[in-house]
Amino acid sequence: MSKQTTISKEIVFEGIGLHTGNRSKMIFKPSGANTGIHFIRVDLPGKPDIKADWNSLSAGTAVRGTTIEKGDAKVHTIEHILSACSALGIDNLAIEIDNNEPPITDGSAKLLAERIIDAGIKELDAFKEIYVIKEPISFSEGKTKITAYPSDNFEIDCTIGFEHPFLSHQQAAFVITKETFLKDIAPARTFCFDYEIEALQANGLARGGSLENAIVIGPNEIYNKEPLRYENEFVRHKILDLIGDLALAGKSIKAKIVAEKPGHKSNVSFIKEFVSKAVLETEGKISEGTVDTQMQNTEEKIINSAEIQRIIPHRYPILMIDRVKLTSDPKKAIGYKCVSGNEPFFQGHFPGQPIMPGVLIVEAMAQTSCIMFLSRSEMKNCLAYFMAIDNVKFRKTVIPGDLLEMKVEVIRDSGRKGKVKGEAYVDGKLVSEAEFMFIIVDREA
C-alpha cells in the first residue's frame, strides 16, 4: 500500500491570474499526514485556511474555473494545481497565496508539475486512503454525462465536441500515472473561442488571458504563434481539468471515468455524487459496508474483467462486458459495459453519429449469460454455444458515454441446455431485449 506524500521543500510561483487578472505570489509548503491540500489567504485578516475539497466549493462559480471558499475568502481557478498534485501523488500541501487567484503560467500544468518534481516528493508515515467503487456511478446534466466504473487504476476516457468547424469532435483516454501526466496531459493549454472573449470579460472573466496563456480558436484556425502541442490538445486539457476537479474528493481515486462533454460545473456536481457512493480503502482493507472484487457477502459475487477473461474465451474487440454481478438468485445476473468513444465499431457505425450496433448489445447480453453459467465450479472447463436467438427488440440507441446494464434471467434450465431472457438498460430505460437458447459443451483438451 502506498504511503501519503508531501513535497520535500518549498516552491514559489508568481504571476497573473487568468480570470481576475490579479497578480499573486504562491508558496507551496510541505504539510503533515492527513492534512490534505489547503490554500491560505495570507493577504486577509486571520489568514483564512481553505481546504481544497468538495465541502469548500463555492456555489455558482464553477463555469470557467473551480473556486473554493471559506466565509468571504475565496481562491479561484485552482484546478491546474490540484490536477498536478493528484497526478503526481501529492496528498498533503499548504499553499500560501497573497491574492484570490493563482498564477495561470502558460495555461497548462506543465510548469507546476515540473517544479513539484524538481522540489522532490517526500513519503510520510501514513498510508493513503483511496476511494473505490463496486458498481458504476453516473451523472448527467444537459449534454454532459460522466460515469465512474470500478477499476484497479485511475483512468479517464474523455470526449468533447462543439458546434464549430475546427473542434467538432475530439477524444482521448489515459491511465493516469505520473509519467503519463507529465508527457501527455500536463502541457495541454486552456482554450476558448474568439467569439467568447468579449462576453467573458463583460462577466468579469478572462481579464488576465492572453495568447501567452490560452489558445484562442478562430473560425478555421488558432491565433497563437505557438502551434498546438498535440493534435488533440483541447480534449487533453479537458482531461487535465477533470483530474483537478476530481481531486476535490480529497482522497485518491481508483476508477475509470468516462466523460462526455465535461465542464467544471458538471465535474464538481459529479464528484459530490461520487463521494456519496464511493468508499474508502486503507492498507488494503475496505471500510464497513463495502465489498472486495470477489464477494460482498454469501449472496452476491462480483466478477471483474480479469476473471471474465478466465471464464470465457472472448477478447478484444469482441469482449462486450466489463463486469458481472451474480445475485443471490443463481438464475439471475447483471452485466455492465462501459460504452467508450474508443470502441472500434464507432469508426464505421456511424462517422459523426456514433451508435452501438444492436447485434453487439445482444452479444453483451449473451456474454453476461455465459458468465452466469460458466462461473459455476462444475462448468469450469466448458464453453457455451447459442443455438437460437428469439424475440429481439431494439428500443433506444446506445452511444458513447452510456453505461449499458444487462439483466439476464434463466427461463428454462435443463443442466447443459436451456433458455435465457435478457434485457439491456441505459439510465434505467430499456434499450433492447432478447431470448437465447444455449448448449454447454466441454472445452477441447
Taking CA atoms, 441 is separated from 138, 363, 387, 411, in Å, by 38, 19, 12, 19
Q: How far apart are CA 87 and CA 38, in angstroms?
A: 17
From its phi and psi, is residue 19 left (phi > 0), alpha (psi between -120 and 50) or beta?
Answer: alpha
What are the residue numbers of the active site?
Answer: 264, 349
Cell of 47: 489568514
Which pLDDT score is estimated for 292?
39
Which pLDDT score is estimated for 288?
38
Superfamily for 295-442?
Hotdog Thioesterase (3.10.129.10)
Which pLDDT score is estimated for 18?
93
Q: What are phi and psi of 304, to 5 degrees?
A: -85, 180
Contact status, residue 37 vs residue 90, Cβ threshold 8 Å? yes
Q: ∠ at Cα 38 (36, 41), nearest 5°? A: 165
For residue 11, the Cα-to-chain-centroid distance in whole angstroms is 29
Residues of the chain with CATH 3.30.1700.10: 3-281
pLDDT along the chain (445 residues), means of 10: 92 94 97 96 97 88 81 96 98 98 97 97 95 90 91 92 88 95 98 89 85 94 95 97 97 94 94 93 52 44 87 92 89 91 89 92 95 87 91 94 92 88 93 94 82
Which pLDDT score is estimated for 372?
92
The DSSP bridge partners found for residue 300 are 297
CB count in 10 Å sphere of residue 290:
15
Contact status, residue 40 vs residue 49, Cβ threshold 8 Å? yes
Q: How far apart are CA 421 and CA 106, in angstroms?
A: 56
Q: ∠ at Cα 33 (30, 36), nearest 5°? A: 75
Which pLDDT score is estimated for 311?
93
Residues of the chain with CATH 3.10.129.10: 295-442
SS3 content of the chain, % helix, strand, coil (to 5): 25, 35, 40
Q: How far apart are CA 108 and CA 77, in angstroms?
A: 12
CATH number 3.30.1700.10 given to 3-281: yes
Which pLDDT score is estimated for 136?
87
pTM of the complete model: 0.76
